[in-house]
């Protein structure tokens, strides 16, 4: 199964709050889990990524939490800012063989000032 | 540095007309190349991927086809467009081979509206 399930579909957060987006996968062959940020009319851009050998990765205000046994991973945006308003996609792929990313359905985040 | 070019940015085509979208990558060799489609308010669906010249894998049976005539050129085509072909088409590339990050770099996309 190649599916990656993402929730919520949309999220409204006040400025300074924490935004949390969750994803779950089924294919245990996946070993690379990136998050992409997409602004309207633009292509997605890599935000942060994690591998199964660590349970958490932090880059600035963005943190990925990874639970291998539950096959779940999540994105936390601390101190959310209006400039973070965008659509966020989780994805998964394998490092060998078929490397194409399988994407979640996306979360539209709106940070209110 | 590597760059990816995708054109046109927007396109309005009548039903039954042909389609040709082009994507080129600069600054890298032997990339994996991908075509994704994003329907309004939905995620990205992989349409085609290629690991080399003339090597195309289709993910979803449909009205579209892809070709890779040169190492860094990827073309998405259709002989006769359908209304359901409307969407945001994205080209992407990634490093081929080895073990490491498989980050995909996306182009700016083509907004296709079939009328």
Digit-coded pLDDT (tens) for A5-29: 999 999 999 999 999 999 999 988 8
> Would you list which residues of chain A are within 8 Å, Cβ to Cβ, of chain B?
6, 32, 34, 41-46, 49, 89, 93-96, 98-106, 108
- So what's the pLDDT on residue A79? 97
Confirm if B5 and B107 have CB atoms less than 8 A apart. Answer: yes
Q: Can you count the helices (H) and strands (E) in chain B?
A: 0, 11
Rounded to whole angstroms, how far apart are CA atoms B60 and B82?
15
Digit-coded pLDDT (tens) for B56-108: 988 886 789 999 999 999 999 999 999 999 999 999 998 876 554 567 889 99
Residue B7 touches partner A, C-beta closer than 8 Å: no
Tell me if A6 and B108 make a contact (CB, 8 A cut-off): no
Burial of A107 (0-12, 13-18, 19+ CB in 10 A): buried
Tell me if B43 and A42 make a contact (CB, 8 A cut-off): no
Rounded to whole angstroms, how far apart are CA atoms A93 and A90?
11
């Amino acid at each position: 199964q190649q599916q990656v399930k993402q929730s919520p579909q949309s999220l409204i957060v006040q400025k300074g709050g924490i935004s949390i987006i969750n994803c779950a996968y089924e294919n245990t062959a996946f070993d690379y889990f990136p998050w992409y940020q997409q602004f309207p009319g633009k292509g997605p851009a890599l935000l942060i990524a994690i591998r199964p050998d660590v349970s958490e990765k932090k880059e600035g205000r963005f943190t990925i939490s990874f639970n291998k046994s539950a096959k779940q991973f999540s994105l936390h945006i601390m101190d959310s800012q209006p400039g973070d308003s965008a659509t966020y996609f989780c994805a998964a792929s394998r490092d060998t063989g078929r490397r194409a990313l399988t994407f979640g359905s996306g979360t539209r985040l709106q940070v209110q000032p | 540095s590597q760059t990816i070019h995708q054109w046109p940015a927007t396109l309005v085509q009548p039903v039954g007309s042909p389609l040709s979208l082009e994507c080129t990558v600069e600054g890298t060799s032997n990339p994996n190349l991908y075509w994704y489609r994003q329907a309004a308010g939905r995620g990205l669906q992989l349409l085609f991927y290629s690991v080399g010249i003339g090597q195309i894998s289709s993910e979803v049976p449909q009205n579209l086809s892809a070709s890779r005539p040169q190492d860094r050129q990827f073309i998405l085509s259709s002989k006769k467009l359908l209304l359901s072909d409307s969407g945001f088409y994205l080209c992407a590339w990634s490093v081929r081979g080895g073990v490491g990050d498989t980050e995909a770099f996306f182009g700016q996309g083509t907004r296709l509206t079939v009328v």
